[in-house]
Chain A
Amino acid sequence: MPLTHVIEDEVLTVTLDGGKLNEIGLPMLRALEGVVPLLRRPDVRAMVVRSTHAGGFSAGADLHELYAGLTSVEADPAGLVEHAQKLFDTPRTAARAGASTLRAALRQRDPHPARAAKAWGVRAFLDRVHRVFDAFDAAPIPTIAAVHGVCFGGGFELALTCDVIVADRTARFAFPELRLGLIPGFGGIPRLERDLGNAIVRDVILSGRSVSAKRAHELGLVSQLVGDGHAHKVAARLAEQTTRFDAHTLAVAKTFAKPIPRERLREEKDRFVELLGRPVVVEALRRFVEAGDAMPYLPAKKAAPASDAGPNDRVTR
């Protein structure tokens, strides 16, 4: 299982423990979907999300899975429904909609009908991720992310669904999606906009740079900055504190203090899917997957050969 959960003293603790670094693909998504019903149980008064991986909280979306999804399906209207169901684990009705997308693209003489259908398949996956993340965001209980190490991309987006981020000094936050020709797709931009000023949001998104926990604390993204290895302990203590308050009042306070930017979330999904159809994305994902490194855009021992564009290269073309 890519995660485990335990309820103790009215605090639900979700521990991410999957893949190389808690990549969010179908297995993690299914596991997170399993957590959603727990958020409204009467014996759950707060939630802490943490990771047991030494490397950090989460490296983000499972790009190997995304790459496979974008390259393995061919333009076959007859087989698309079955294929899409298998590939993206979508309900049959949604899979039918995907086949319909492909047929419409063919009718409209879209030069890339299969690409349109593949993008739809990812959209179905994104819809599921958003349902889970929205449920976390809107949970009627205080939610706390205990972060250390890498908190990138989709992992950062998961942390942003929580009410409070407690981070130790090893934590680093980043949205590296532009390196892949993409923007964040799990709600990162609207939720970051909600929490921070737009100038720093633009800097982080457009540069793809990572921000240390200390800087994130100065910016107001990290609420509580703690010593190395103490994020979970501090988060658990905070969660326990919130269970002392009236549940209804907590829910009212949260709803009032933390509106969900639904319109912007929908727009982000649309933009993401539009970008996904571009060849530059598949090419960037291919380089990422073939590099074999969890994060090949970070400093590394060996430079890419001059004759072969490396993942650090710009993906604008």
Chain B
Amino acid sequence: MSQDRVMERLLSLAAERFARSREDLKPEDDLFDALEIDSMQALSLLTALEESFSVEIPDYEVQDVRTFQELAEVVASRL
């Protein structure tokens, strides 16, 4: 799966999960600001990503992730 498709699915999933408009989310956005989520909600996003992409993403790989772009790179590395 290409990085672009990973990003598209990630943004759609995040928008749906946290009731945001998909168009408002950009790859370079700080995902905590854009989604207005805390660490607990970030954990639920991680679970949703694992389900959606059928991958396992250890928390330590996303510990320092701030943007959707960085998160998409972590997901892509597991595909």
Q: Which residues of A contact B (CB under 8 A)?
A: 55, 149-150, 169-170, 172, 174, 207-215, 293-301, 303, 312
* Closest Cβ neighbor of B49 among chain A residues: A212
Task: Report, as a range, how many residues of chain B touch the other chain.
Answer: 20 to 34
A15 to B44, CA, bound (A): 22
* Closest Cβ neighbor of B40 among chain A residues: A55
Is B65 touching A170 in the complex (CB atoms < 8 A)? no
Taking A172-B43, A298-B43 as contacts, is the C-beta distance between A215 and B56 under 8 angstroms? Answer: yes
Chain B's interface: helix, strand, loop or mixed, by majority? helix
Is B39 touching A293 in the complex (CB atoms < 8 A)? yes
Is A299 touching B47 in the complex (CB atoms < 8 A)? no
Query: Quick check: is B62 within 8 A (CB to CB) of the other chain?
Result: yes
* CB<8 Å pairs between A and B, sample of 22: A55-B40, A149-B40, A149-B44, A169-B51, A170-B47, A207-B60, A209-B58, A211-B56, A212-B50, A213-B47, A214-B50, A215-B50, A294-B39, A298-B63, A299-B32, A299-B39, A299-B42, A299-B43, A299-B59, A299-B63, A300-B42, A312-B64
Chain A's interface: helix, strand, loop or mixed, by majority? loop
Q: Which residues of B contact A169 (CB under 8 A)?
A: 47, 51
Q: Which residues of B contact A (CB under 8 A)?
A: 30, 32-33, 38-40, 42-44, 46-47, 50-51, 56, 58-60, 62-66
Taking A208-B60, A299-B39, A299-B63 as contacts, is the C-beta distance between A170 and B33 under 8 angstroms? Answer: no
Select which of A172, A211, A215, A295 is within 8 A of B39 by beta carbon: A295
Q: Which residues of A contact B50 (CB under 8 A)?
A: 212, 214-215
* Closest Cβ neighbor of A301 among chain B residues: B32
* Closest Cβ neighbor of B58 among chain A residues: A209
A149 to B41, CA, bound (A): 10
Q: Which residues of A contact B39 (CB under 8 A)?
A: 293-296, 298-300
Q: A63 → chain B, closest Cβ, in Å? A: 15
Q: Which residues of B contact A207 (CB under 8 A)?
A: 58, 60
A150 to B39, CA, bound (A): 11
